[in-house]
Each structure stands twice: as C-alpha cells, then as structure tokens.
A and B are shown apart, each in its own frame.
Chain A
C-alpha cells in the first residue's frame, strides 16, 4: 500500500512538473519547427510570465496593492491569480509579437549559431533587467489561498495517493486544459494546418500562396504566450528568482523537445511528461541524483534515438 501510494504520488507530481515542461516545450518546438529559429530566450519568456504574474498577483491582492488603493476590497474572492491567468498569457503574446518582429525576423536567414547567440544575449538582458528593476532576491510562490471562496491551500485526501496539495491538482487541471486546447488548435484548425505544413516544408507553403509570414508572427506569439503561462504556473508552486529562467525553463524546454522530437507538438507533450516523471521519481527517492539522471537520460536519448519520440531527424539538424 505504501509502495502504491508512493508510485501514485510520483506520477501526480510528475504530471504537474511534466505539464510545465510540456507547455514550455510546445512553445519552443513550434517556433523551431515552423521557422527553424532557435530561441534561447524562451526561458526569458518564462521569466517574464512568472514576474508579470507576481506583479499582477500583488497589485490585485485584497490587503494591499493597486486594487486596494482604489478602494476595491470586497471582491469576495482572491482575484489576483485569476486576473493573472488572463493578463500573463496576453502579455506574453504581445512580447512574442514584438520579439518576432524585431529580434527573430532579421535573423531568419542568418546561420543558426547567430540565432542562438542573439537570443542568448537577449535572455541575459531580460534576466538582468528583472534583477535590476524588481530585485535579485527570491519571492515566495504566488499560489492563492482561496478561489471563489473555496479554500485551496489545504491538502486533500485522494484515493491511493493520500494527502496531496489541492492547489497542485488545480494547476494540473488548468495546465492540461491549455495543453489540450493548444493541441486542438494545431491539429484541428486551418492555422494549425499551416503551422504543421510549415514545420515540414515552409518553402512549399509559401509557394502555395499562403502568407506564412503572418503565421510566423502568430506562431511566435503563441509560443511566447505558452512560455509565459508556464511561468505563471511555475511561479504558483515554486519560489521565484531571476535565475529560474535559464535553469528551470530554458534547459528543461530544450531537453523536452530533444526527448519528444523537434517540431512535434505531440512529442513535446510526451517528452515533457516523461521528463517530469523522471524528475519527480528521482526527487522522491535519490534527490541528489535527480538532475544528473535527467541529463544523462537526455544524452542517451540523443545518442540512440536522435529524432526523439515523435520527431523527424531533419528539423534543427
């Protein structure tokens, strides 16, 4: 019974961590797949999401902040996180549009190392800006204690698992809702069709008379919005510091698409979940080895199955 509950809690934690990886991975992979553009600033977008979430959360809190100073204190529920759920992805979308127009576009035709370098520099700038404007110190996670009057800070008892933080369950639900919607948008809509065709052969799509440049902006912005959303989710369960953009977002995102296969949305979801479960299993057993096993797993994956779980070998090679 103990063993069973351990496995169940590893899987649940893995699901929650994997959801963040998958959100990041989808964004990175559609940008890489469609535009063949390697975005090392993807972690910076996560950071933007996390800190925008923090600011929105603080400013809309009941006891202080902007809303409080406006005299609005009787909303009846903690609206901060719900507001952030809307504002953060929208903001990320806007940042993505700007980034595509001003940073990515001039580099589409340059060598891929130049793309890596310029986005790496951009990531540095974003990280340092946050450090200097908001501060380099860590912030507590921004999980709300109640939503619509329902207490979400207490753990609830689940069959098999035992006590599990109810907020994390909600997070898993929201994250997979977004992942599912993104998946449907790419698999079932015309826009998704163009994106998918673009990942295979963008030249051909252009020849067919489709304005792929407009799709480029949308894809980039969608990827950025997903990264920002992942940042918000991450900020609600982990402490925040400017370093997390690189360590907890950029590198895992890359590992995710390497495992899943570059250019594949399905691969990013599967890869994220696999890595999430590995990290959660190792953290609960031999936590010192968690990161090492994660990296070595990805290295083995690259050696023995370079195309990933669902990818084709050409993208990004």
Chain B
C-alpha cells in the first residue's frame, strides 16, 4: 500500500467537493452506511435461496448434490461476522493473530453455561460477547507490545494455554473433553418465537435462526463500515501500512492497536455465542484449539483482506467446501470426503500467491477492468495497483 490510498480514503470521508465527478460519486455511495446495509440486507434475503434451493435444483439436474443444508446459510453468517472483525485486525491494522479461537471459544462456553440458567439467545450473545471482550483486554494488552511473528506467537500461546486449561484443569467448568452438547436456546422474545420456526413455508432454510443471524450480520456490517470509514478506522489502516509514521504523527499507537484487537475480539465473541446457539454444542477442539484460529485466518485471506465484506466470501467458500463439497461424490474422482482440507490448502496457497487481496479483491479488480474504471483514483483497481508492493 502507499500514501495514495490514505489520501483517497481520507478525501472520501472529509471532502464533499469531489462528489461532482462520476467515479468518486459511486465510490462515495458504496461507502455510505445506509447503502452498505441495504445492499447487504438484499443479499441476505436471496442468499439462502441461491445457496440451498437454486444450487440444490442445479445439483438435481446434473445428478450431484451440491446444494446446502438448511442450517448452512446461518453458519456462513456466523463465521462471516467473526471474520469481518478479524479483518479489522489483520487486513486493516496488519496484525496477524493466531489466538482468536480464545475469544470465539470463551464466548461459546460462557453462552453455553449461561443458557443453563437463562436460555435466552439474545442474552447468551450479550454474555458471551462481554466475556470475550474482558478476556481480550488483558491478552491484547500484553500481546500488542510485540509485533510481527512475536505477536502471532503470543496470541497463540495464550489461546493454547486456555485450550489446555479447558481440556484439563478447567474441566469442572468446561466439562473437559466431553464438551457441552444439547444446548437449548428457547427462542426470541422470551421464548415466544422458537429459533427453528420457518419464516417462509416452502423454503426451509429461512428460519428464525437465519433471520437472527442475518440481523446480527447487518449490525456487524454497519459497525464495520462505520469503523473503516471513520477517522478512527483510518488510523487502523495507517497502522497497517506504517506504524512508525503513525507514531511520529503523535498518536498513541499502543492504544489504537489495543482497540483494534478488542474490537475484533468483540466480533469473535458474538460469533462464538451465535455458534453455540446454532450448533447447540461446544468442545475445546471446536472452540479453543488453535486450528480454529487458523480457520479464521484462512477465511479472511481467502475472501480478501482489502475490503469490508471480502472476508465474508471467504467464510462462505470455507464453510461451503467444509460442509457440502466434502460430501460430494464425483463421477470420475469418487468421494471427496477428507480431501476437502487438501483442496482448501491448495486454493489458499494459490490465493496468497496470486491474489493477495483474495477472491473478493480479484473479482472487484476484474469488475473494475470491465467497466473501464482503471483510470479513476477512487476505483478499487487503482488502489490495488499501489497495494501490490
């Protein structure tokens, strides 16, 4: 990345005069909160239909089951929420954490424990998020002091310490290797609306759970967009590009990095609590093991770190491959089964290698090239040209 991007984004926030030119007008529209949220809402309305029903119908025609199952859209949204937050840390602030499973898992466990007292989904999310945030503060406080690989290792060590604690000495609280299963959340509005109620009679992927996850996703998109397009978010971005420069400007680097860390943990906490509500089980390996952190990294990078919603596409691809493609049996190759992680690893390496801005970045570059927007300073293509160092 170079100075140009700070300048263009900064201009989009602060200036109002540039609105006259067409290219920047579109760019400005794309950054507006209401536009982003409405566009996301529209996408969320058609998403389960496309994923489960349309793909399912296509699958029926070609004789391979490639649709999703009813719960998959919600699961994608849950991971989507997490990686939007993770990207604020990795993509914008430039900090690679290998310990976010700690926040995901602690939120999941506290939500699960809380559900035994009050099985309200909304309260579960709130409790889980609070616990994740409280945990992120000290871990962030310590880890932020180091950069680069040391930061990654520090976050990893804290996450792993928590994992082994949950497996062994902490089993009185976490149920150890047995985990929790059969966690029941009663339903929204004091249990009046059960989460598995169908919203649309014919399409069984439109459940209350999906709507719940969808609303949380919209909030996440709104908050994420708010942060990225605020002066505060610009400092995150500046930190990702050159920490020293931010320090010389006179800003408290430590404070901003810590805030980026805690904010990303809040998203992970929301996702962790939602995960428990959706999947109704939690186990140290699912919740706290460092491979889970690695999965967040993969999703984020796969989708693309350069934009707000890019990582959500990564979550979609990841969960789709993990849950659907792994069960597909192809005519020539046979069952894919456990090969899915191999395929994922290969795709991941390819993406890191060729498209550092991920799937979403590659597509938006392609779109910009087709519409011929390469010359405009506010178009993604131009900022990308600066980014590939």
Instruction: Say which residue of B149, B154, B342, B346 sits within 8 Å of A299 (CB atoms).
Output: B154
Instruction: Say which residue of A114, A128, A246, A262 sits within 8 Å of B342 (CB atoms).
Output: A128
* B interface majority secondary structure: helix
- In Å, the complex CA distance between A114 and B351 comes to 11
- In Å, the complex CA distance between A121 and B142 comes to 28
Is the Cβ of A254 less than 8 Å from the Cβ of B94?
Answer: no
Is the Cβ of A121 less than 8 Å from the Cβ of B348?
Answer: yes
Contact code string A280-317 (vs B, CB < 8 Å = 1, else 0): 00000000110110011011001100100000000011
Contacting residues of chain B (208-243) with chain A, CB-CB under 8 angstroms: none
Is B255's beta carbon under 8 Å from chain A? Answer: no
Is the Cβ of A106 less than 8 Å from the Cβ of B353?
Answer: yes
**Minimal beta-carbon separation of A201 from chain B (angstroms):** 18
Instruction: Say which residue of B90, B150, B158, B344 sits within 8 Å of A124 (CB atoms).
Output: B344
Is the Cβ of A251 less than 8 Å from the Cβ of B149?
Answer: no
Is B389's beta carbon under 8 Å from chain A? Answer: yes
Contact code string A109-134 (vs B, CB < 8 Å = 1, else 0): 11111101110111011011101100
A117, A254, A258, A302 — most chain B CB neighbours (10 Å)? A117
- In Å, the complex CA distance between A262 and B161 comes to 22
Is the Cβ of A258 less than 8 Å from the Cβ of B165?
Answer: no
**Minimal beta-carbon separation of B82 from chain A (angstroms):** 18
Contacts of A125 in B (CB 8 A): 342, 345-346, 349
Contacts of B297 in A (CB 8 A): 117, 120
Interface residues on A, range: 35 or more
Contacts of B147 in A (CB 8 A): 317
**Minimal beta-carbon separation of A253 from chain B (angstroms):** 11
Is A136's beta carbon under 8 Å from chain B? Answer: yes
Known A251-B156, A258-B150; judge A122-B145 contact (CB<8 A): no
Is the Cβ of A255 less than 8 Å from the Cβ of B157?
Answer: yes
List chain B positions with a Cβ less than 8 A from chain A.
90, 94, 96, 142, 145-150, 152-154, 156-158, 160-161, 164-165, 168-169, 290-291, 294, 297-298, 301, 338-339, 341-342, 344-346, 348-349, 352-353, 356, 389
The 9 closest A-B pairs by CB, nearest first: A124-B345, A128-B342, A288-B168, A121-B349, A291-B164, A295-B161, A121-B348, A125-B345, A295-B157
Residue pairs across A and B with Cβ atoms less than 8 A apart, 13 shown, are: A32-B149, A106-B353, A114-B356, A121-B345, A124-B341, A124-B344, A125-B345, A127-B341, A251-B290, A298-B157, A299-B142, A299-B158, A317-B148
List chain A positions with a Cβ less than 8 A from chain B.
32, 38, 106, 109-114, 116-118, 120-122, 124-125, 127-129, 131-132, 136, 246, 251, 254-255, 258, 262, 288-289, 291-292, 295-296, 298-299, 302-303, 306, 316-317
